[in-house]
Amino acid sequence: MPPILAIPYPQAPAYCFPIAELSLYVLFVACLIHAVRQGSRHIGYLFGGLLFGILEYVNVNANLGYTYGKFWIMFGRAPKDIPLCIGVGWGIIMYASRLFSDRLGLALWSAAALDALLAISIDLSMDTVAYRLHMWHWDWSDKGLDPLTAQWFGVPWGNFFGWLMVVFFYASFSRLLERALLNRKLAPGAEAALSPLLAVLLSQICLYVMLVHVGPFLHDQFGITSLHRFVVFIVILAGITAWGLRRKKAIRADMPFLAWFVPVWFHCFFFAWLFIGGFYQENAWMLVTSTINIVLGVSVHLIAMPKRGVIKPAMQGA
């Protein structure tokens, strides 16, 4: 077995990948139907998130230490090809997170911070299980570390830090651009197309600067690792979110079904495979953290399940 696959688990059962992939496509179609009903701004935001996932092709070909397993629909040439469902997953997580935060009436920065926290809650549990299912593979061979215990149960801390930055930057830039373009006399649909495209571009620039320049500088000069950056960023985002919740607008609106169903699906699907795959027996701490994460993640969303109230449109850019 090549080093990159050197974890003591066989390939996932034949039905696992198709169920995961088809479920993501169904959820994307559901999000798209919702977005079409809400307007072009929602459609643009959803496809902007999808574009981030497709840009994974650049990361994989830049040899950033991971490759993907084989799904039905793949782009590129093996072994550096990427599955379409990864981009779809990014898009629906970002879309559902924003539906949730917008419903709460948070200010711009607090809403973007909450988006990032909701997304990382999914990723912390999903990555450990998906990695063991061979949906994607992290290469620890050149570092001499145990591929099951290195950093976050075999998943690099830098992956989580990058995911936080992607969601926060995209959520922030999208809202800022929507606000800036709101009163411009643009052609129909131009605002909806420009906002996500520019937001993706600006987010990628910020991500590149952070990972290629700022990260190495902090590590070389001060010994600040990706774990340090991740923890500090989590604390900052949590503080911004808490501040925003205390000062949120008095909005009462029905929580869109997808705002809680999408994250609950991710949490439940991968938590189920933690047991189906037998991974829960590997490490007690992984089982404990996964359990805490699903309880917190699902609870946060179910507390805000649909209620009667005055319905206000989401994604107002404020």
Q: List pLDDT tens digits, range 228-258.
A: 999 999 999 999 999 998 877 655 567 889 9
One-character DSSP codes across 258-318: HHHHHHHHHHHHHHHHHHHTTGGGT-HHHHHHHHHHHHHHHHHHHHT---SS----S----
**Model confidence band, residue 1 (pLDDT cutoffs 50, 70, 90):** very low
25 near 89, Cβ under 8 Å?
no
| Nearest Cα to Cα of residue 42 among 27, 30, 55, 32 | 32
Residue 316 belongs to some domain of the structure: no
Residue 313 belongs to some domain of the structure: no
Give SS3 for 66.
Answer: strand
Per the structure, the complete domain to which residue 103 belongs is given by 3-303
Residue 9 belongs to some domain of the structure: yes
pTM summary value = 0.91
Q: Please tell me the total count of domains within the chain.
A: 1
The per-residue pLDDT of the chain, averaged, comes to 87
Cα-Cα-Cα-Cα dihedral sign, residues 273, 278, 279, 281? positive
Residue 254 belongs to some domain of the structure: yes
* 24-33 residue pLDDT tens: 999 999 999 9
Q: Please give the helix or strand (H or E) that residue 76 lies within, else none.
A: none
Please give the pLDDT value at position 184. 73
